[in-house]
Chain A
Amino acid sequence: MLSKDLIKDIIGTVLKYGGDFAEVFIENKYENRIELADGFIQKANTNNISGIGIRGFLGNKAIYAYTNIFERDNLLSVAKRVGEALSETKVSNLKLDFDDKKIKNRHLIHFYPMEIDKTEKAKIMKTAYHAAKNFSNLIKQVLVWYWEYDQEILVANSEGTWAEDRRVKTRLMINTVAEHNGNMERGFYGPGAGMGFEFFNTIDVEEAAKRAARIAVRMVDAEPAPAGKMPVVISNEFGGVIFHEAVGHALEATSVAKGASVFAGKLGQKVAAECVSAVDDATIPNGWGSANVDDEGTPTRRNLLIDKGILVGYLIDKLGARRMNMESTGSARRQDYTFAPTSRMSNTFILPGKYYPEEIIAATEYGLYAKTMGGGSVMPGTGEFNFAVMEAYLIENGKITKPVKGATLIGKGYEIIQKIDMVGNDIARGQGVCGSISGAVPADVGQPTIRVSEILVGGRNK
């Protein structure tokens, strides 16, 4: 990392040429990605990402530049370019004393993954492979991906922020393909955490692999899902992707500050059914989406977003804070230094309600049980979301009956959260990678089992 003096000079140079705020983000990230197919390790890559992002603000205007040439002359010339692009100087006689009080690390790491021999990682991948492959003779292919990274960051800015953080993440992803009578279906399960190699002491690798295999096997002979509007019961854990996409993205300052979100200007208003409360919480120890500070150096916190149906908070970064005249919620994130940070979710989930999941199923005459969700996406400007259901069953007369495949759920986020009419007590979180304008970042989604009284299910027509 760079010396304090050089960092002061970079910040000073930006402000000398223009702007009223300057920020430096330095990153060094080691990453391992290993791929297994057909029982063999096919590819193993190690990546070292290392660079510096320099950003300046003038009012609501933001300029971003990055480089990975760390020589003083280059850094100062990049800083000058940022300042010049802002052009108007608002800060004179900057006196910069960094507030470098140590931030408490909430995410203890026992075994830094980089220090663990790669053969150990290969061993775990093969355990997963065999467990999935042996689950059923319908399983024709198993792809296992291992991903870990160790990211060290430093953020310093003209307000005196000096924050360092180290984020360690480990994840195992199991993809299965089942084939029967010419039909092919996929299954996936990808647990991860903000942990080192000790993560594998907290999960049962074989069970995780079997879970991925079960989905493919159950779905391969399933009939197409019915099409049309119906009640949908969405299971816990990764089911929370529905809140993440349908509501969470539209609460990010990125779209709220521009008025390009259906939730802009709705603070204090009832936006969801009374049984719905939701939070974004980057402070969960060793959470997949957790961090001690966000990517602007602001300490992270637990942000209540919806309280018993009332909208009480947004997810805000520094630029969004300026534009919205509110304070940052510690929600600035980015994939790496090549992206300017913006407001993003961390670990986002619906809080538990009062029903046992069995009660919710029993109370549903006819509908779809979305047991395992695939991914989804949303257009924040219109709230239109869509999700693929990876594993689904029909509910008939209050009972789960047959498996059905190919169901996609679509709707508008602000409508769907008003139609949640039962919330279970079985909260759990699942891991995903969320893609948006500041790149791909690890994010947890979560919820208890919930029921939505009506969603359009896109399946096949009889």
Chain B
Amino acid sequence: MNLKEFKDKLFALAKKNGFEAQVEFSEKMEFMVSYANDDIDQYKDASNSRVTIKILKDGKIGKSFSERFDDPEALFNEALSNWKITDTEDENFFYDGKGKYLEMKTYDGNFEKTPVKEKLDFVKKLYNSAKCDERIVTVPNAVFQNLKISKSISNTLGLDISSTMDGGFSYAISISKDDNTHSGFWFEIGKRFEDLSPEQIGKKACKEALSLLGAKPVKSGKYRVIIRNTAFEELLGLLKSMISAENVQKNISPLKGKINEKIGNTILNIKDLPYVEGSINNRPFDDEGVPTKETVIIENGVLKSYLYDLKTAKKDNVESTGNSLNGSIEPINLVIESGNYSFNELVNKLDNGIIIISIDGMHSGANPVSGNFSLGARGYKVENGEIVHAVEQITISGNFIDLLNKIESVGNDSKDFGGVITPSILISELDIAGE
């Protein structure tokens, strides 16, 4: 059964039963190759597709998806049984597609055109660069991956849109050894194959691993801290959860009731952008087919807006911000505005303190309901503006909102992590546990 037949049958079935219906068809292609121990470790070249249907009546939605396209009736019946048990008092909607969509190119095609042989050469080079020094004992992962996702959404209200996006990324892990082993990781994203340099990514992973040689804990206490972009990106996972209007309305966000209140230092500016040059996350519409747009989240330290989908927007009497993604509300490109200081200048300003380069345990040690976190971390100790030794086996703990208030300076070293673009920041005080 082709997609059009499938859709027509499903829409007819829905109408006959008094429902509006929406069909999303998506196709995913992925290519991945990883290199380890001087050989190909994993190689994947694959594709699949799925159809997701939603039916709507009385403000309630029933949902079902399938990777088989032979039976619209079975899919409708599953959605119907889900609709029947749904008893939320919140009102759900479909979008009619009448809004204005931003013009943007989300598909380049460059990754698909690049021959497999070049991708194999890439990971080989990446692997060798990640092994740049004899103190590197192993490179367990040197990975290249590219993806292409096509999506079309149409519904009985007249919505009918589609788009294709693509992109690629690469990372390497190097492990160095002295009395202990230390792990170095580096990751880059690109819109085109030539955006990614295997030599640079590999070398950076290697340098990170070497930089941790001789690492030791510091004494427990309160320290001035630089949270490098690579670590701050992860901590921002807490903010993502807190600004979801769904979490705010469910009473599980500490930012509830804080619109127009100052929640961070005045130098802090955060936006969600539907398009950022070079980002692989750009999109003209969200998963409900709503046009995406720029949303100011924090301006001069003041909370300006949450992110919304159709249902939560109606509840707060605002418009959807077009952030319905992957079944929840998420930013598209969460951009922390760059400041004036290079990383080295931040280190000078830090004077005495700790640089955190990576953190562990976000999914368990960080609590998006309270904003409290307690996480494993590693980095460097700084004395008189100079890095004196590497630090590991420490934890950092605090509260995320408290931390936004303690931001002293923002770096100009913004890096794209796929969905989050952030510089490094300098914090006046953070709790560290060590020796």
Q: Which A residues fall within an 8 A CB radius of B?
A: 34, 37-38, 40-51, 60-68, 81, 85, 117-119, 121-122, 140-141, 143, 177, 179, 183-186, 224-225, 227-229, 255, 258-260, 262, 338, 340, 374-377, 379-388, 405-408, 410-412, 437, 456-461
Please give, as numbers and ranges, the residues of chain B lying within 8 Å of A68 by CB-CB distance: 48-50, 67-68
B360 engages A44 (CB within 8 Å): no
Chain A min CB distance to B326 (Å): 12
Please give, as numbers and ranges, the residues of chain B lying within 8 Å of A405 by CB-CB distance: 372
Cβ of B396 within 8 Å of any chain A Cβ, yes or no, is: yes
Please give, as numbers and ranges, the residues of chain A lying within 8 Å of B81 by CB-CB distance: 44, 46, 117-118
Cβ of B221 within 8 Å of any chain A Cβ, yes or no, is: yes
Chain A min CB distance to B330 (Å): 16
Residue of B nearest to A61 (CB): B40
Interchain CA distance A121-B84 in the complex, whole Å: 12
Number of A-B residue pairs at CB separation under 8 A: 246
Q: Pick from A46, A50, A380, A381: contact of B68, CB below 8 A.
A: A50
Interchain CA distance A408-B158 in the complex, whole Å: 51
Interchain CA distance A227-B432 in the complex, whole Å: 8
A41 engages B138 (CB within 8 Å): no
Please give, as numbers and ranges, the residues of chain B lying within 8 Å of A408 by CB-CB distance: 361, 365, 374-376, 395, 397
A143 engages B46 (CB within 8 Å): no
Please give, as numbers and ranges, the residues of chain B lying within 8 Å of A376 by CB-CB distance: 361, 364
Q: Pick from B75, B88, B361, B365: contact of A41, CB below 8 A.
A: B88
A388 engages B85 (CB within 8 Å): no
Please give, as numbers and ranges, the residues of chain B lying within 8 Å of A385 by CB-CB distance: 360, 376
Q: Pick from B39, B84, B220, B392: contact of A228, CB below 8 A.
A: B220
- Given A381-B175, A458-B374, A40-B89 contact (CB < 8 Å): yes
Can you add 6 more A-B contacts, CB < 8 Å, to A338-B46, A386-B376, A458-B376? A44-B82, A44-B83, A45-B65, A49-B67, A85-B43, A461-B222
Residue of A nearest to B311 (CB): A42
Within 8 A of A (CB), among B419-435: 431-435
A461 engages B220 (CB within 8 Å): yes
A sample of 20 inter-chain contacts (CB < 8 A) reads A34-B82, A38-B250, A40-B88, A43-B327, A47-B64, A48-B65, A49-B67, A67-B46, A67-B47, A85-B43, A119-B85, A260-B138, A375-B361, A380-B140, A381-B181, A384-B376, A384-B392, A408-B397, A437-B42, A458-B365
Interchain CA distance A118-B80 in the complex, whole Å: 11
Interchain CA distance A67-B183 in the complex, whole Å: 35
Interchain CA distance A405-B61 in the complex, whole Å: 39
B48 engages A258 (CB within 8 Å): no
Within 8 A of A (CB), among B39-92: 39-50, 61-68, 75, 78-79, 81-90
- Given A49-B67, A456-B393, A461-B431, A66-B46 contact (CB < 8 Å): yes
Q: Pick from B62, B137, B360, B395: contact of A377, CB below 8 A.
A: B360
Cβ of B363 within 8 Å of any chain A Cβ, yes or no, is: yes
A64 engages B393 (CB within 8 Å): no
